[in-house]
């Protein structure tokens, strides 16, 4: 185990030196997308903001953020209708725990900009692609789509993936499933079939907004943990609550 850890550390150190020579600033650009459509009430919105803030400063997530030799870049926006996306955190390089704490505090104190619009997921993905285009130069890019319903306004996710620059982006999902959700397809199946995109994309499921903090913490731990060189990403995977 000690020998494996030393080997992994030496590999990451070599990777960081090579990345620096290419002008790479970070190992991961992580963009968090928060659903504030009309199906999310004020209590649920508070649970997701507070849950995300708490997850970001949880010990395992902090350890994952600072486990690599290169920093992580993070940003966040909220989304609902076709033209209702608002940046909550612009691109920030996490060089020290204080940077991460400030991001968490800002998210916790943020107020939703809209509460009466439908779920325009395709437009949200397009907005996210634009944000990722101006992110710092990182080894990889991930868009973290969270929501409690499927697209019901504007073009679908498939159109966004066809028209916007997603060639080097992985889109993971956090499906918030509530007892009053009614649709022809289970939300987890919708996310798996329509939203997840790119190599290694995966889905976490929250059992309602009361379970949001647990689900997003587990998701962040997985997204932020450094990958070994030569790592072969698994096929799209799905993690149920538990």
CB atoms within 10 A of CB 119: 24
**Residue 209 DSSP label:** G
For 178-194, the three-class secondary structure string (H helix, E strand, C coil) is CCCCCCCCCHHHHHHHH
Query: For residue 210, how far is the Cα from the chain centroid?
Result: 19
Kindly tell me the burial class for residue 91, based on how many C-beta atoms sit within 10 Å of its own C-beta (0-12, 13-18, 19 or more): middle
Over residues 34-79, the pLDDT tens digits come to 999 999 999 999 999 999 999 999 999 999 999 989 999 999 999 9
Kindly tell me the burial class for residue 98, based on how many C-beta atoms sit within 10 Å of its own C-beta (0-12, 13-18, 19 or more): exposed
Over the Cα atoms of the chain, what is R_g? Answer: 17
Query: For residue 6, how far is the Cα from the chain centroid?
Result: 29
Over residues 190-233, the pLDDT tens digits come to 999 999 999 999 999 999 999 999 999 999 999 999 874 434 44
Give this prediction's pTM.
0.86
> Positive or negative, the Cα torsion across 48, 51, 56, 62?
negative
């Amino acid at each position: 185990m000690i020998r494996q850890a030393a080997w992994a550390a030496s590999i990451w150190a070599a990777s960081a030196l090579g990345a620096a020579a290419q002008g790479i600033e970070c190992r991961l650009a992580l963009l968090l997308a928060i659903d504030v459509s009309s199906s999310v009430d004020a209590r649920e919105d508070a649970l997701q903001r507070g849950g995300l803030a708490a997850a970001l400063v949880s010990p395992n997530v902090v350890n994952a953020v600072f486990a690599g030799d290169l920093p992580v870049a993070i940003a966040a926006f909220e989304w609902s209708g076709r033209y209702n996306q608002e940046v909550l955190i612009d691109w920030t390089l996490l060089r020290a725990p204080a940077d991460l704490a400030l991001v968490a505090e800002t998210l916790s104190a943020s107020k939703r900009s809209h509460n009466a619009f439908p779920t325009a997921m395709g437009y949200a993905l397009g907005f996210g692609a634009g944000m990722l285009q101006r992110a710092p130069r990182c080894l990889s890019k991930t868009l973290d789509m969270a929501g409690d319903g499927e697209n019901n306004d504007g073009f679908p996710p498939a159109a966004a993936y066809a028209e916007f620059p997603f060639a080097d982006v992985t889109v993971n999902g956090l499906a918030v499933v509530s007892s009053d959700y009614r649709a022809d397809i289970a939300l987890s199946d919708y996310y798996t079939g329509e939203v997840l995109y790119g190599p290694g994309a995966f889905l976490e499921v929250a059992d309602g907004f009361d379970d949001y903090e647990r689900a997003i913490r587990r998701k962040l731990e997985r997204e932020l943990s450094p990958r070994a060189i030569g790592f072969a990403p698994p096929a799209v995977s799905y993690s149920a609550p538990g």
